[in-house]
Amino acid sequence: MKGKRPRSPVARTWQGVIGAVVLMSVLACGQSDAQTEQGGDGEPHGIRIGFSMDSFVVERWQRDRDAFLDEARIHGVEVILRTANERLDVQREQLLELAQSGIDVLVVVPNDAEGLSDIVESIRNRGVPVLAYDRLVRNTAIDGYISFDNQGIGSMMADAVLSELESRADGDSTVLVINGALSDYNSFMINRGIVTSLTPHVDSGRVRVLDSLWLQTWRNEEAHDAIEGAFDRFEHISGVIAANDLIADAVVRSAAARGLAGELLVSGMDGDLAAVQRVAEGTQLMTIYKPVEDLARRAVHAAIELAGTQTLQADELIHNGRVDVPFIRLAPVMVTQESILDTVIADRFHSYDDVFRNVPESQRPPR
């Protein structure tokens, strides 16, 4: 079926993808916020951490920030926090500012995996170790990386959609993949997991991949354009493997407008409240919950270790395009309708009342 193509710039190829007192003020007009936490309740370490974050667009990043600052307070560590509001140029300026402020270690959530390499190299040349937080900094030497099993996340999302397709015995099992931001190397690791799970099903003819779309940024609007274009181009889509919950939100909204909510299988990642609500309601198949409080706590410990010894002890390494980086890998958790109570609610990541707010009481599971 012919129709308009997505207005957002997306790259397509299926074959190609196989190979601690805080000033909480976000400034207007796209400027960054500045936050500093001084000392804490624990025994002072005399350590100053520079924490550079990309943005708070995704709900989970606010949890990362709060958990990181709370853990730093416990250990008497000072944190200088900067947030770039999704602007690479701002983050580059902020990193230079942090390097000149006398920090002992830098923790960074990069806006662009490649776009900070030269700045990071100059910071390390000052003797400041660098820890990449959840997103890998590429093609320059760094001292550590802490994140979840991103390839495993991709496989989990794909496997969930494939399993449901098989149970439905859909005669025309067609899948669309909407990958994350090209600027985030996590997107490529997640895609690798998706491809690994899909390939045997594609090779056997059980599943047909309609397209594999790449977004420029993790933005709901761009995802909306991509899925609208896909609905115009393809007569039937059985499932959408969406790389995170913002993308899933756009997909579910577009599906609902076509009367397909709950019929179209949609994956997601991050465990956002709205996504878990959609899972509870049956309009999103699953999401990946990342225990970000654990990630943040362990990142503070890793930063303290790096500040003291310049070396991070980790069980494995990951190659970032230039060097092998010590990698602390955490396990993600899949959330489905059946497992909501045992995962995000049991961990108090979300409350029962919030998750099931839009579900009639007669259809809610017992507390």
pLDDT single digits (tens) 142-196: 999 999 999 999 999 999 999 999 988 766 899 999 999 999 999 999 999 999 9
Is the confidence at residue 63, as pLDDT, over 60? yes
Regarding beta strands 208-215 and 11-12, do their DSSP bridges make them parallel or antiparallel, or are they unpaired? antiparallel
What single-letter amino acid sits at 267? S
pLDDT, mean of residues 123-145: 97
List Cβ<8 Å contacts ≥24 apart for 336-340: 336/160, 336/279, 336/285, 336/286, 337/279, 337/280, 337/282, 340/276, 340/279, 340/280, 340/365
In the numeric block, which tokens belong to residue 179? 């990958």
In sign, the C-alpha dihedral spanning 183, 53, 145, 334 is negative
For residue 170, the model assigns a pLDDT of 62
So what's the pLDDT on residue 34? 55
Which segment of 1-15, 196-210, 293-307 scores lowest on mean pLDDT? 1-15
pLDDT of residue 37: 52
At 100, which helix (H) or strand (E)?
none
Q: Give the helix/strand (H/E) hosting 366.
A: none
pLDDT at 17 over 60: no
pLDDT bin (cut points 50, 70, 90) of residue 19 is: very low
Confidence band for 36, pLDDT divided at 50, 70 and 90: low
Give the model's pLDDT for residue 5. 33
For residues 239-263, average pLDDT: 96
DSSP-based three-state secondary structure for 329: strand
Whether 16 has a pLDDT exceeding 50, the answer reads: no
The pLDDT of residue 38: 47
Residue carrying the six token digits 């900067």: 82
- Entry pTM: 0.86
Order of strands, sheet of 208-215, starting from the edge strand that comes earlier in the sequence: 11-12, 208-215, 174-181, 239-242, 265-266
Q: For residue 110, what pLDDT band results from cuts at 50, 70 and 90?
A: very high
What confidence score (pLDDT) does residue 199 get?
A: 98
Torsion of CA 78, 84, 90, 93, to 10 degrees: 10
For the chain, strand residue ranges (E) read 11-12, 33-37, 48-53, 78-83, 105-108, 130-133, 144-148, 174-181, 208-215, 239-242, 265-266, 287-289, 316-319, 324-330, 333-335
User: What average pLDDT does the segment 242-249 reach?
Assistant: 96
Domains in the chain (CATH in brackets) are 20-148+291-330 (3.40.50.2300), 150-290+333-363 (3.40.50.2300)
Express as a percent the part of the chain with pLDDT over 70: 87
Picking from 117, 193, 182, the residue whose alpha carbon sits closest to that of residue 157 is 193
Task: Classify each residue of 1-40 as buried b or exposed e, where b means 16 or more C-beta atoms within 10 Å of its C-beta.
Answer: eeeeebebebeeeeeebeebebeeeeeeeeebbebbbebb
Q: What is the mean pLDDT of residues 73-92?
A: 96
Q: Are strands 105-108 and 130-133 parallel, antiparallel or unpaired?
A: parallel
Mean pLDDT for the chain?
Answer: 89
Report the C-alpha gap between 193 and 183 in whole angstroms.
Answer: 18
pLDDT value at 336 more than 70: yes
pLDDT at 25: 29
Predicted confidence at residue 1, as pLDDT, reads 39
244 pLDDT band (50/70/90 cuts)? Answer: very high
- Rounded mean pLDDT, 88-98: 96
Contact 147, 210 (CB under 8 A): no
Please compute the mean of the pLDDT values over residues 107-131 and round it to a whole number: 96
Output the pLDDT for position 31. 40
Distance CA 183, CA 165 (A): 31
Nearest Cα neighbor of 88 from 112, 70, 68, 104 is: 112
Tokens of 124: 């390390």
Q: How confident is the model at residue 299 (pLDDT cuts 50, 70, 90)?
A: very high
Predicted confidence at residue 60, as pLDDT, reads 87
pLDDT band, residue 57 (cuts 50/70/90): confident
Q: Looking at residues 360-364, what average pLDDT do you find?
A: 94
